Amino acid sequence: MRFRSAAILLLVSAAASGAGADDPNYTQDGKLKPPADYREWIFLSSSLDMSYRKLGGLMGHSMFDNVFVDPSSYREFVKTGTWPEKTRLVMEVRAATEKGSINEHGRFQSGDSMGLEVHIKDSARFAGGWAFFAFNGSEPAVQIPSGADCYSCHQQHGAVNTTFVQFYPTLLKIATEKKTLSPNYHP
Ligand code: HEC
């Protein structure tokens, strides 16, 4: 009997969260797992030292942001100009280095990833549709609270559906053609 009620509870909680028991993204207590294979996803763009937010302890270092999206959501964006449910966008941060090998000018990316953040669309789970997560190594992470400035800046300034498509050149062209740019967005 005890066995059976535990099984029913599990089924109920999986249904309530809108995810199957084998959902690869979340742990049973609702944390998001860092995507292990994002380096095999679609590359959207890199930016160097953009100064739209405070990076606390990392300030003073020169850094690249690399943005990737899972392949099936990318293909949907190419068709529709916007993101489907379960879209996962990753931002990876790496050091921008001047001195190394034959380099004389400019900066290249080096070393291990210094930060990994995910922006995920999952309306069954998150009020507002989207949620942010910041990871520490391979540990699953709790959602960044919805009052954080991540949400307000992305909402107010992201060109398509709270994402910064204005900085992903191939996608900006598609969104412009499909007329899916946010009314808030001014080039
Ligand atoms: C003041 C504005 C601002 C704030 C605050 C902000 N971001 Fe962003 N975010 C951007 C911009 C601009 C880009 C795109 C360009 C880049 O940085 O490479 C971006 C891109 C991203 C991306 C890539 C996917 C996408 O949505 O375009 C992720 C992931 C991300 N930010 C996570 C976060 C997290 C997590 C926080 C809060 C801890 C945060 N951001 C706070 C402006 C902001």
Asked if 97 and 38 touch (Cβ cutoff 8 Å), the reply is no
Q: Whose CA is nearest to atom 13 of ligand 1?
A: 164
Q: What is the pLDDT of residue 12?
A: 42
Query: Residue 184: its pLDDT value, please?
Result: 86
**Residues of the chain below pLDDT 70:** 1-22, 53-60
**Distance from residue 7's CA to the centre of ligand 1 (Å):** 40
Asked if residues 120 and 144 have their Cβ atoms less than 8 Å apart, the reply is no
Q: What tokens were used for 19?
A: 């995810």
Nearest CA, atom 32, ligand 1: 117
Q: Which amino acid is at 4?
A: R
Cβ 135 under 6 angstroms from ligand 1: no
Give the model's pLDDT for residue 11: 43
Contact criterion met (CB below 8 Å) for 66 and 38: no
Residue nearest (by alpha carbon) to ligand 1 atom 39 = 150
